[in-house]
Structure 1
Amino acid sequence: GVRDRLFHTLDPSTRVWRLGGRDHLLTDTVGFIRKLPHQLVDAFKATLEETTLADLIVHVVDASEPPAARGVAMAAVDEVLEEIGAGETPRIVVMNKLDLLDEEARRDLLVGHRDFIGVSAAENEGIEGLLDAIEAAFEETLQPMELLFPYSDGAVLSELHAIVGHVERKDGPDGVAVTARVPRALSHRFASYSVNGTPG
């Protein structure tokens, strides 16, 4: 029925995305829905719960909307992120559909908003710059760690490789010494192998 289809549209999807030699989990959450029925507000927020675990939020905005409507939608997203505890999570604001704007509208949209990244997914415009910005933002979340893995824990070392990509390693009599930059949110998973104690 309609009710079931509506809830289906609220389901986020997650997939593995490789960028900068690292695997990332990319979760595509529900978009902002104006005048959401009151009984579905909690369901809407529930779909964003995974956002509280994110290292980075990429907020995609429809740049072709009238400025007033666009501002209302952006403010509503900000409010929901605050309510679920993700207000302080690093964020990139992406203005999509630049191909639907003339030069004057583009200038009005982006000038004075250095935090906005303008793209056109349809025309593949600005995507490279967006990827660079995402990679740079992730770099800010990395925790330098010096680790020592016993040879018997090769599976954990493989997991580290999958997460961080390139590592500096040196095989020794006690195991594999590794220097790596690990996402802060995951550093606790490797803290027991740290040669400098648990990272802060």
Structure 2
Amino acid sequence: MKEFILTKQESERTVLVGIITQTQNETKANEYLDELAFLAETAGAEPVKKFLQRLEYPNPVTFVGAGKLQEIKDYVEENEIGLVIFDDDLSPKQLKNIEKELQVKILDRTSLILDIFAKRAQTANAKSQVELAQYQYLLPRLTRLWTHLERQRGGIGMRGPGETQIETDRRIILDKISRLKAELKQIDKQKEMQRKNRGKMVRVALVGYTNVGKSTLMNLLSKSEVFAENKLFATLDTTVRKVIIDNLPFLLTDTVGFIRKLPTHLVESFKSTLDEVRDADLLVHVVDISHPSFEEQIEIVNQTLHEVCNSSDKPMIIVFNKIDAFSYVEKDPDDLSPKTKKNISLDELKETWMARMNENCIFISAKEKNNIEELKKLLYERVKEIHVTRFPYNDFLFQKYDEEENI
């Protein structure tokens, strides 16, 4: 049932396919393919070639035009390519036609992410969430997976409505989806009880785009050993740790990262992670400032939080991470053309819209441990504000502690 998922351990040579449209220019299309290449490498594939075509909209039959598909086919045959990955979701019709033409394994962006999710899931909860997302993805694509649509063989005790094979498989998958939803509902109840049992401690959730350094930051603040790696979706399971800064305890949660073009139903499968975000008192939005499109990544995360978590009204701190990796090209003084993002230094960047955020943003390097103490102080102040509002009688204790610290 899961043959669309990569299972090989060795690297599979693959080519990547994307399109340039009115809403996605060539620069963006190339950037998206670079991210798709990173996803492919995370899954264990080896991207060897990228194909781009300029179209008003994807071809409803083969995604790309006939000429481009033939070009891809020639390259695949000449270079012994066994896998072709498309940067957008493919319809069942497109999958069937492309697979028939190229005669190799075809994946789209969602199926690739699902493969990574399946490899990364460690706990029973995460595995069930991934399995649910897989079946929800697979259900409308059964026509691609089955060609034997003849009626089931009859016989004594076997005479029935004569379901086709695809109807049988659809019913089996629907049953499994119902079972998984019931399991996850039970898990959600257990998680809800766990959250209630944590008492009234202030909850802080790390959110952000995938691979921005959330888990590394979690390890620094909580002195724990959360798995962190320079790959997309290194963390799938929600991790909660108790953190104490000076005299103030709070709960810190590391959540799954978001990514562009991620279908809503896939995110919704991770309800327990999203519940941690919904229940958080303070969000810490971690951003990779060294990424050329970090502003777009901020927008994607904010939009996802608004649509799925309804968390737009929560207090938030933006932590611009990876300042050690930030680079720019200094502009020639004789060049009178306007500066681009590539020519802006970090100091100049801080004077843009970021300056209006006042103390709600901070610049750090979790890898090099730069400005971590400043981040702890900022967290202390924000958590204390929430704590004092919740427990007004503790305000005197905080004032006394702060006075002693200043002596």
* TM value normalised by structure 1: 0.64
**Separation of aligned partners in 1, 2:376 and 2:240:** 18
How many equivalent residue pairs?
150
**Equivalent residue number for residue 295 of structure 2:** 71
Within-5 A mapping of 1:180-199: none
Question: Percent same amino acid at aligned positions?
Answer: 35
Give 1:46 shift: 5.1
Query: 2:278 matched to which residue of 1?
Result: 52
The reply to whether residue 80 of structure 1 matches residue 311 of structure 2 is no
Distance, in Å, in 1 between the alignment partners of 2:320 and 2:268 is: 27
Equivalence for 1:135: 380
Aligned to 2:169: none
Separation in structure 1 between the aligned mates of residue 306 and residue 263 of structure 2, nearest angstrom: 20
- Taking the aligned partners of 1:75 and 1:45, their CA distance within structure 2 comes to 21
Deviation for aligned residue 1:88: 1.0
- In 1, the alpha carbon distance for the partners of 2:304 and 2:261 equals 14
Distance (whole Å) between structure 2 residues aligned to residue 122 and residue 62 of structure 1? 12
In 1, Cα distance between equivalents of 2:326 and 2:288: 11
Alignment match, 1:126: 371
Matched with 1:5 is: 119
Specify every segment of 5 or more residues in structure 1 that has no aligned partner in the other structure, as ranges: 147-163, 169-200
TM-superposed deviation, 1:86: 1.3
**Partner AA of 1:23 in structure 2:** P
1:91-147 CA distance string (max 9 Å, x none):
00011010112485312332231333110112111111111111111122122534x
CA distance in 1, matches of 2:250, 2:242: 6
The residue type paired with residue 107 of structure 1 is D
Pick closer, same or farther for the CA change 1:73–1:55 going to 2, 3 Å: same
Query: Secondary structure of the residue that 1:86 maps to in structure 2?
Result: coil
Contact 1:13–1:28 (Cα < 8 Å) also in 2: yes
State the distance in 2 between where 1:46 and 1:40 align: 13
User: Computing the radius of gyration over CA atoms, which structure comes out larger, 1 or 2?
Assistant: 2
- Structure with greater strand percent: 1
Instruction: Give the whole-Å Cα distance in 1 for the aligned partners of 2:272 and 2:297.
Output: 18
Equivalent residue for 1:105? 345
Go from structure 1 to structure 2 and tell me whether the alpha carbon gap of 1:72 and 1:44 turns closer, same or farther (over 3 Å shift): farther
Q: Is the 8 A contact 1:110 1:118 kept in 2?
A: no
Scaled by the length of structure 2, the TM-score of the pair is: 0.33
Quote how far apart the aligned CAs of 1:5 are.
2.2
Contact 1:58 1:93 in 2 (8 A): yes
Gaps of 5+ in 2: 1-6, 8-114, 123-234, 329-343, 399-407
Give 3-state SS (helix, strand or coil) of 2:281's partner.
coil
Change (3 A) 1:137 1:22: same
Equivalent position of 1:90 in the other structure: 315
Residue 44 of structure 1: how far off its partner (Å): 4.7
Distance change >3 Å, CA 107–CA 44, structure 1 → 2: farther
Name the structure 2 match of 1:161: none
Distance 2:311 2:265 in 1: 23
Instruction: Return the alpha-carbon distance in structure 1 between the equivalents of residues 383 and 392 of structure 2.
Output: 16
Superposed, which structure 2 residues align to 1:141-156 within 5 Å?
141=386, 142-143=388-389, 144-146=391-393
Q: Could you say what the CA RMSD is over the residues aligned between the two structures, in angstroms? A: 2.8
- Alignment of structure 1 residues 162-181 onto 2, 5 Å: 167=397
1:11-54 Cα offsets, whole Å, 9 max, x none, are 21111111131221100111122333565132256522211111
Contact map agreement 1:96 1:120 (CA 8 A) in 2 = yes
Cα separation, 1, equivalents of 2:301 and 2:345? 23
Point out which structure has higher relative CO (alpha carbons under 8 A, 6+ apart): 1
